[in-house]
Chains A and B, each alone.
Chain A
Amino acid sequence: MSVSAPILRRRANQAALYLSVCTLVLIMLIPIGWMLSTSFKPLRDVFQTPPQWIPDEITFKNYVAQFNEVLGTLMLNSMIVAVGAAVLATFVGAMTAYGISRFRFKGGALLMLFFMGSLAFPVPLLMISLYSLFVKLGLLNTYAALILGHTAVTIPVSIWLLKNFFDQLPREVEEAAYVDGASPLKVFLFVVLPMARPALAASAIFVFVVSWNELLFGLTFTSTTDMRPLPAGITLVFLQEFEGAWSEMMALAVMVSIPVLILFFFFQKTFLRGVTAGAVKG
């Protein structure tokens, strides 16, 4: 059978489509690719012209150089703070979201509006009062200050994500448990929370990523290197000592990205489902 002109045209369109998608995606990934490429080069190969995408010589030295006590401490600090904030914001967020979703009361919508609106509160303005508050409570230079700060700025999104999930969750299961004699608290803890695992994961990942990223609280509410989280520590230690060793710098950048990239690699589907379900609904 000969191929007709419209079919040829359609195939050409398809090819153009794939080509443009691939091009766009590749352009998006160039910075990450270049970061990886540079991180595996010996320093002398970094300054080649024209630039080499595949290194002539692959070395892991730049990574080995990062295994030092300072980066280890910063990583550990960030991990503790991010996990703490993720757990706190997600659990408290789930309680609030469930309350707004299942209790009929005036002001529920208003409360939601306030939570979402608080995302626009200027963080430096909040920090002024938080600083004085943490000084009074003796929380400066503790994990608690960072966990609380990160929880506060992420909890609105956590509530929003989880409320959308609960709104879409059919109530029959809960009503059955309620009729069977479980108290509302038990229904929440033993029926709702287990069903909400995907949404809880989405919220926790979101909080973790934001916390891992956060610079200002880290700079301001900690004062010693052994308490600093990654972004603040890198700014104050590594960047101060930087003298053009770009390959090592890129290895550092890769290592800082790895925890969140791994987290995302495994939970991407869960996370996207959580975020888009809420977003599209409104």
Chain B
Amino acid sequence: MARAVTTQHKVVVTAAAWAVALIIFFPILYTIITSFKSEQEAIQGFDLIPSFTFESYADVQSQYNYFKPFMNSVIISVGSTILALLIAVPAAWSMAFSPTRRTKDILMWMLSTKMMPAVAVLMPIYLLFRDFGLLDSRIGLTVMLMLINLPIVVWMLYTYFREIPGEILEAARMDGASLWNEIVYVLTPMAIPGIASTMLLNIILAWNEAFWTIRLTTTEAAPLTAFITSFSSPQGLFWAKLSAASTLAIAPILVMGWFSQKQLVRGLTFGAVK
């Protein structure tokens, strides 16, 4: 980028970008602010300065111990992501480096498995889980979320792997590298950014999955989505409490997202990089 950028231009861009960013972020910001208000303050109209009470957080914690659903969320989202990667990496690999005429069709078909609305298949899945004794089990939920997100994982990895030039592989092979060495020393280092961002995106998707995680759990496996459901829309005032619970539920993933933002951006190329 050798273009000269005037300071004036930069200031204008900065102002515009910050304005837009703050508007987009506002609902979240306001939720966080509201979580530090008392219930009565919360419905008294627009006010950006809360009284900084921790009342709501104390209430939320005393009603539902945050730790257990938090751990479940972590286990389920990370577990399902790792599981999905274990299955998806070889698949994407084979489609990217050994494509056939049907590769594209297989990819589209994989995506199409996600097209059934969850509400429509609740009973078949519920009955299956019941029959296998998987209701309210972390294992069941982990497998479930893995299956839900697998098509996207395969797809992301595929587009990423495709950008790895085939010549490198050929060169490695010429040098007499075994397939194993080829994978470990040549491909993996190049694929790591793509795998990392796929992993991040998938953890986010799994963390936010709020249909199955609520329907298929009761106490043992209930993650943060269920935690939220126990604070939404009770009788009486609940904005402050719901805001506190929401802040607690989204904070971990928000923090993770913030720290890994660069990684996420880098990997989400979907083959756009030349």
Asked if A and B bind, the verdict is: no
